[in-house]
Amino acid sequence: MNSIYQHTDSNKRGYNGITFDTNEANVILKNEVRNNLIDKPQKDELLRILETLKNDTGFDKSQTLLADIQALQEERVDVQDFRIGEALAEIFLQKYFSCRFYWNELRDARNPKGNKTGADLVGFIEIDNEILFLFGEVKTSSEQQSPPQVMTNPNGIEKQLRDLYNDPEKRCILICYIQNKIGLTGNINFQNDFNNAIKNYYKQNSSNYLLYGVLIRDTQPNEKDIQGSYNRLKKEILVPNGLKLLAIYVPIPKSQWLNIINGANNEIN
C-alpha cells in the first residue's frame, strides 16, 4: 500500500488517499476480496457438514447433496461492482487502519444481489487505545471528474454521513444490530470490543464514535476526490466524534475485477 496524499487534524479526524501496485491488486481480488464475497468461513463450515453427511450410510448417493457440495466447491462470485468496492473497503480498513469487522453481512442476505439497509460498514476502530463504534459508507466510481458525483449527490457519501451524525435513532439501530451478532459468533474479542465501544459511546455528554466514508476508484489519484467533502463535513460533524475519509485507487479497471475474482486468465500484469 502506498499513501499518495494525507491530511490529519487529529488521530480521529482526517483523510487519506492510497493506492497499491497491480500485482498486489490481483492477489487481493483473487483472495481476500473473493473470500469476503463468498463468506469463506461460513461456506467452509457448511461444506464440512455436507461432507460429513455424505459419509453417512444412505446419503452418499444423494444427488442433491452431491450437487450442493460441487456447487459450493466451484462457487463463482456474481455481484455488482459496488459489492466488490465494499469488500475492498472492509479489507483495507482492517489491514491498515486498525478497524475490525466481525460479522459478514452476506449472512443476512436472502438475495445476494439485493440492496442491504443501514450503513455499509458497522464495526469497531481502535484509536489511542480506545475502541469506538465505526459507522461507514462506501461508494465506487469510475467517473473522470473530481470529485465524483457519488461524493456529493443527494445519495452520496456526504449526505449519508450527515444523516448518520444527525440521526441517533439510526445509530442505535446499528448498535443493536451488531450486538445481536455477538452470540452467533462466540468470539470473545467481538464481545470485548462491543463492551468497550458502548462505554465510550455513552460516557460523554456527546456520543463518541467514528464515521468513515470510503471512496473506491479505478481512476488516477486526485486529492480533490475527497478534500472538499472532508472540509465541509468537519464543520458539521463535530468533536468528539471521529470523521475520516479514505480514497482507495485500484490500478485495474473495475470492468475486470469480477473476472479476476473468479480466476479468469485475463489478469492485468
Least confident interval from 49-58, 90-99, 150-159: 49-58
Integer CA distances (angstroms), 176 to 16, 130, 194, 198, in order: 30, 20, 11, 11
In a domain, 268, yes or no: no
Same domain? 67 vs 87: no
Same domain? 70 vs 97: no
Same domain? 166 vs 201: yes
In a domain, 243, yes or no: yes
Q: How many domains would you assign to the chain?
A: 2
Work out whether the CA dihedral 80, 138, 98, 220 comes out positive or negative: positive
Does position 267 have pLDDT exceeding 60, yes or no? no
Band (50; pLDDT cuts 50, 70, 90): very high
In a domain, 269, yes or no: no
What local confidence, expressed as pLDDT, does residue 269 receive? 47
Question: How far is it, in rounded angstroms, from Cα 210 to Cα 10?
Answer: 12
Does position 183 have pLDDT exceeding 80, yes or no? yes
Least confident interval from 21-25, 26-30, 62-66, 193-197: 62-66
Share of the chain above pLDDT 70, in %: 93
- pTM of the shown model: 0.93
Least confident interval from 35-39, 114-118, 181-185: 114-118
Q: Contacts for 147-150 with beta carbons within 8 Å, 24 or more apart?
A: 147/224, 147/225, 147/226, 147/228, 147/229, 148/215, 148/217, 148/225, 150/215
| Tens of pLDDT, residues 121-174 | 999 999 999 999 999 999 999 999 999 999 999 999 999 999 999 999 999 999
What letter would DSSP give residue 241? S
Same domain? 257 vs 190: yes
Same domain? 108 vs 192: yes
Same domain? 142 vs 246: yes
| Tens of pLDDT, residues 214-233 | 999 999 999 999 999 999 99
What local confidence, expressed as pLDDT, does residue 56 receive? 82
Does position 41 have pLDDT exceeding 70, yes or no? yes
Does position 106 have pLDDT exceeding 90, yes or no? no
Enclosing domain of residue 137: 2-38+81-261
Same domain? 93 vs 175: yes
Answer with the one of 55, 74, 93 that is the final residue of a domain: 74
Same domain? 230 vs 111: yes
Same domain? 204 vs 109: yes
Same domain? 161 vs 249: yes
